[in-house]
Each structure stands twice: as C-alpha cells, then as structure tokens.
Structure 1
C-alpha cells in the first residue's frame, strides 16, 4: 500500500498499548504504519475510531464495557478492518470474535515484524490468524469432527450467555477457584457466584464438573 496504514490500538493495559506503538514504529518505512489513536475500553474505542477513521483496529478481546465484539457491533459495517490481538487462544473467544466481524486473530506472543505484516495483510483485505489458530478456525467453521459438538450447537449454547458469563464459564471450566476468577476479572466473589449460577441454569447443568465436561466436548478450553 502506498499510503501509511492508520491504526488504532485498543487494549485496557497502558503498557501493552505503549509496547505495540513502539513495535509498529520500528518497521520498514516502505510499509509505514501510523498509530493514530488508542483506547482502553469500549466507549473510548468507539469514540476514537469515529474521530480518526483508521484503516485497521488492533482490538483486545476482553475490554471494560462489553468486550471487543461490542466495539465491532457499535462501529457497524463499512468502517475499519479489525484484527484481534489477545492473550487468549480459547475457542469461544476466537470463534466469537470472528463471528463478531474481525478479519483476523493473533495472540500477544506474536513478534513485532509478524504483527506489522499481519496489519498490512488485514489492510489489504486478507484474513490473518496465528499459525496455531488457523487450522482450528478452519476446522471449527467447516464443522466438528467425531466426538465433538457441531459448531451451530456451540453457537446456540453460547448465545444464551452474556459476555461476562462466558468469561466466568471459561475460567471455571479451566479449574479456576471463585476467588481466582474474581481476581482475574476484577469483580467480587459474590458476583462470580451469581454469574456461575446463571451459567449453570442457562446451560441446564448442575455442577462445575458438568460444566468442565460440557466445555471440553465443545472445544472451548
């Protein structure tokens, strides 16, 4: 691309935003990338995207105010292309984010040069995934294999849950204690218990052990 690619970085950690800005500024001038804005939550992201009209938005999956999917929903179609940049490689995060409108999904273990290359490809209209996720995404959207639950059924199940309930569900299913979930999500233990009760009720499960098995069967861990 002849013109600089305009990028907005959305992440609730200031050090991550600073590090990404530094990495993007260290690239080849021939494929210049310019960070035109930053945001730490959904409200800020929507406002900054509207004000700066970027080509690409680097978007964290879990954000205060509703998450990356909410940012894409509120920005609508015809705007920038979204590239998820997340520490999470959980199936529900990846599938939900792609369903929400992202053109790609890479994890935060990505190198600076690879991130710059991914942004260029997204700006040009390609889809980009971290190598370990690419096969998983293809398999997921092609349909489940033997011993797993079909993707359409997974989507229907997950659609019953709010985004916060999905976060709690994923951590509990991975074996986190309620206190650990509360610390991870910056909420109270009582709130975790409330969300957990709602998850079990909506999914018609009776215990965290059943939830772990349910999530494993659906490749959500």
Structure 2
C-alpha cells in the first residue's frame, strides 16, 4: 500500500469468535479492523460508534428481532450513508442472498473465499462496486433483473444478445476464463466482446462496468 493511501476501515460482524479472529488475520495491510461484534444490537452500536467504510456482515446473527444481518443494515443505513455492507456467510441460499441485498448490502460472498479475495472484495465495495460470488449473482439477477431490464434506457439496445450475456457475467465478477467456459466460447472471443461492450457503453474498465450494471440493477 502506498504510504499516502489510508487503509479501508472495517467492522467485522459474526457470532463466531474464532471466525472473526481468523478473518482479521487474513485481511491484508490495506484494511484496518476497527471493531468486532457478535450480535445485532452489538453490531449496530459498534457501527454507529466507529463509522467504518465497510461492514463485513454475517447473515444469521443472534439478538434483535430475528432479522440478522438485514436488521443490522436497517438499523444503520439512515445514520451512515457512507458505510457499505458486504455480506459474508456460509449460506448460499437464494432467500438469504436476496434478503440482505434488498436491505441494502453492496455484495454477498461465501466463507469459502480466500483472504486475498475477501480483501479485494472489501476494497471494491468501499469504492462503490457491487461484489458477488459468481454462483450467487444469478439469485440477484432473478430477483431484480427482469423489471430492471425492461426499464433500462437505450444503452442496452447498443449491445448484441451475446454482448449482453458477457456484460452480465463480467459485471458479476466472472473471469474471462469463467465467461468462456460458461458461454462455450474462446477467451479471445470474450476479450473481443468485452472491448465492444466497454466501447459501446463508453466505459474504461470492468470495475466501471460493474458499477454501471449495479446502478441499473442488472447484477
């Protein structure tokens, strides 16, 4: 990390102390953990006190009225518009994913993720990107995408059907290799489609593309 760059501040919310300790150790030097919490009320208090840039939030938590991670977000979003929430859970159930995203989480990743991957996800969420484990992003698309696609402006009309498929997968966090495998095309063809998508949408990077898709609820 460049000395002029300040670390991203984080509050870790999970009801398992061993997991919190391991996660804290796995996060890289670009991230500073300000506090930890194990339950809903404790989490809301810690977030309100420390005002972190990102909250790493388990979905199922004790306490409160049973709303878990979604209840934590609801208790904080009005006060802390500058805080982003990234769900980190063992659950990959569609209901859990959709519930926490509806509440306002910026992303959702499973606990099988590596320390390097979660550190990267924290940094991306802090800068406004939406981050999902690839296999979970489809739940969000199913829940939000149909109505969104119908209302998106003429920008989408510039893309071919194949370019639209590639755009969604790239925006969900798939690598070029994963996109190629998913769509049964070559990596070179994926690169060509991505270049065309960025040119047509007047974007300069896949991070901008992710933000563009998230703003239109296409993830």
TM-score normalized with structure 1 length = 0.60
Distance 1:98 1:136 in 2: 10
Query: Of residues 2, 7, 10 in structure 2, which corresponds to 1:4?
Result: 7
- Residue 37 of structure 1 corresponds to which residue in structure 2? 35
Following TM superposition, the consecutive aligned residue runs of length 4 or more in structure 1 with deviations greater than 6 angstroms are none
- Residue 70 of structure 1 corresponds to which residue in structure 2? 71
- Residue 100 of structure 2 corresponds to which residue in structure 1? 97
Deviations 1:114-146 (A, max 9, x none): 1000000000001000011123322331249xx
- Residue 57 of structure 1 corresponds to which residue in structure 2? 55
DSSP 3-state at the match of 1:54 = coil
Structure 2, gaps ≥5 residues long: 148-219
Distance 1:61 1:142 in 2: 22
Deviation (angstroms), 1:9: 0.3
Distance 1:59 1:79 in 2: 16
Deviations 1:170-190 (A, max 9, x none): xxxxxxxxxxxxxxxxxxxxx
Deviation (angstroms), 1:23: 0.3
- Counting only pairs closer than 5 Å after superposition, residues 1-221 of structure 1 correspond to structure 2 as 2-24=5-27, 27=28, 29=29, 32-65=30-63, 66=66, 67-77=68-78, 78-143=81-146
Q: Assess if the C-alpha contact under 8 Å between 2:98 and 2:139 holds in 1.
A: no
Distance 1:70 1:140 in 2: 20
DSSP 3-state at the match of 2:15 = coil
Deviation (angstroms), 1:76: 2.3
What is the alpha-carbon root mean square deviation over aligned residues? 1.5
DSSP 3-state at the match of 1:141 = helix
Deviation (angstroms), 1:33: 0.2
Distance 2:110 2:6 in 1: 27
Deviations 1:40-68 (A, max 9, x none): 00111011111111000000000012300
Distance 1:121 1:62 in 2: 23
Distance 1:23 1:139 in 2: 32
DSSP 3-state at the match of 2:33 = strand
Distance 1:20 1:113 in 2: 11
Deviation (angstroms), 1:79: 4.0
